[in-house]
Chain A
Amino acid sequence: MTNTTPNSKNLLSFSTRLITWTNSGLVHLTLVILGLVWLTPSLGLLITSLRSRADIAQSGWWTSILEWRFNLENYVEVLNNSELPSPGFKENIINSIIITVPSTILPIIVASLLAYVIVFTKLRIRNFLYLLIIALMVVPLQVTWFPVLSLYKFFDITGSWTGIWLAHTAYGTPFAVFLLRNFFSEIPEEIIESAKLDCNNHFQIFTRIVLPLSLPALASLAIFQFVWVWNDLMNAIVFLQSVEKYPLTVGIQKLLGHYQNEWHLLAAGAWLTMLVPLLIFFALQRYFVRGVTAGAVKG
């Protein structure tokens, strides 16, 4: 390089710069295309949900940005229309809340107790329990539904709220234990040892020391479980079996069955179910991403 004339040096750096410039241009282009591919599907449905039925029938949603005639009528219609597959979306929303809240709280209680024992006690079977949890995390729920249903029939809780709460609690427990065990293991042992001097029993250590220290993990877990149950379709179909109790997801699925091409209703309905998870995503992004990432294997 020392022997090159100033002229060829400039030339070289020019071509290098050209290559770098093209490369970074290609990088930006790739990212923009990927971003568009990921954004367009949901954006298209959002725009459609804000257009009138007549407009939707007349032209594609991508033309409507020029017209700019948007309104919320489809949402009003989907919430109030009594012609829709009963009971209607208002009831679906209430049902979703009734199903989701206990199904979020219960597994966290059940799982944190088990995770506590696995991490902080010397119970002989604790390693076995942990291995069992790992194995159960990947069991496909499909293979459990029928036997559980026949058990429900025996106890006469088919189609009850209790039935769906119990199912979600059980199905949510393996992953919750997995996440909490990992978090509990990071609590320094000295804290627990000194707590054993102050506290009379495990319950006090659990409620006064371990749970308060684990709030970030509990938050990630609660958010993950909430969104998982809110988005659940199959367990609701299998265990509720009655139109009056169906949550939003089943509402949409029935809507799709009845009105395959009524896109104004389908779009508004789908966006109604997406609203809550999306709000959670934007408001609590860090916890949400952490929960989902840790929960990669659940399902």
Chain B
Amino acid sequence: MRSKFNWEAWVFILPACLLLLTFLVWPTMQTIYYSFFKGNFLDPTVEFIGLGHFDRLLTGDRLFLRINKWPPSGALINTIVWIIFLPTLTVIFGLIVAVLADGKKYESFIKSLIFIPMAISATAASVIFRFVYNSDPETGVLNALLTFILPELEPIPWLGRKGMANFAVIFAAVWIWTGLAMTILSAAYKALPLEIIEAAIIDGATAWQRFWRITLPMLTVPITFLGVVMIINALKMIDLVYVMTMGGPRGGTRVIGYSVFVEMFANGKIGYGSAIGVILLILILPIILYQLKQLRQQL
């Protein structure tokens, strides 16, 4: 019986395996290989330079990493800022809505409202936030609000200042992905065993104590999961940056995922872009290993 079925199984997996090898496995290897060469579009392997690109990236590229001047800047630093703020803010906002809206009459309404940005393309979201951040208080709602509250204040060019623009783009990403955090946390919150919470109420714990001592510790698993997802999103980030700021002003919003693309496709430096890609892969590797380890336990 088994042997009769077997050849069919191989036919079934053939298309998927071919595609995965051609579009994901082989190209990744190829990019790692190119990272040791100087090269261009026509010939990606003009000259072997070993770890030359990595040396240059970590010591001599102000757009990638600049640590000799305070505050440190460059794509690597910007990505670290993304990695810190994107998971933290999406989980905080998601948790607030998941817990506070639970059981309210308008629960499903506000949850839809928060989730809708997940359906919108990064391109449209970029247009939306360029509009929100517009420095003319007659156009941009954020500056309109600020100058309404503090009339003496000069309008702030949110996407035009180097130290600020990265946070402005991160907030657009938070706006997009909070819906995901909220949905996952809300499902986990509703699945919490009622008896424990009731016991805590009988023991006289306030809502605040119940949240910090019971709810939050019991949500560790979904929060960790979301942390991993958001770190991956931060590392891969490209489209919001591409449409909102093109990495500017003066590299202020460049992130690693975007630098890979720009060095390769705008500057034609295949080897150099590949080296940034390798750094991106190295940063993502622990996450892959972590997920595989988790899965091994299930299999």
Q: A-side interface residues toward B, CB under 8 Å? A: 23, 27, 30-31, 34-35, 38-42, 44-45, 48, 56, 58-62, 110-111, 113-114, 116-117, 121-123, 127, 129-136, 138-148, 150-151, 166-167, 169-171, 173-174, 177, 196, 201-203, 206, 227, 230-234, 238, 249-250, 252-253, 256, 263, 266-267, 269-271, 273-274, 277-278, 280-281, 285, 288-289, 292-293, 296-297, 299
Contact = CB atoms under 8 A, between A and B. Distances in A.
B261 interface: yes
Contacts of B112: 285
B177 to A, nearest CB: 9
A9 B19 CA distance: 74
A121 B183 CA distance: 34
Contacts of A150: 44
Given A35-B110, A234-B261, A289-B115, A144 B12 contact: no
B140 to A, nearest CB: 8
B282 to A, nearest CB: 11
Q: How large is the interface on B (under 10, 10 to 19, 20 to 34, 35 or more residues)?
A: 35 or more
A166 B23 contact: yes
18 contacts: A41-B128, A134-B291, A143-B281, A144-B28, A148-B27, A170-B23, A171-B23, A177-B16, A196-B1, A202-B9, A231-B124, A232-B121, A256-B127, A274-B124, A277-B119, A296-B226, A296-B229, A297-B232
Contact of A142 (B100, B101, B236, B292): B236
Contacts of B30: 146-147
Contact of B23 (A167, A249, A288): A167
B9 A233 contact: no
Given A231-B120, A273-B121, A289-B115, A145 B9 contact: no
A144 B100 contact: no
Given A117-B9, A146-B44, A273-B124, A233 B242 contact: yes
Contacts of A60: 137-139, 141, 144
| Interchain residue pairs A-B with the least CB separation, the first 4 | A170-B23, A231-B121, A147-B27, A144-B27
A252 B123 contact: yes
Interface in B99-153: 100-101, 104, 106, 110, 112-124, 126-132, 137-139, 141, 144
Given A40-B141, A142-B257, A293-B180, A278 B119 contact: yes
Query: Does more than half of chain B's interface fall in helix, strand or loop, or is it mixed?
Result: helix
A233 B138 contact: no
Contacts of B124: 231, 249, 252, 270-271, 273-274
Given A201-B8, A249-B121, A140 B277 contact: yes
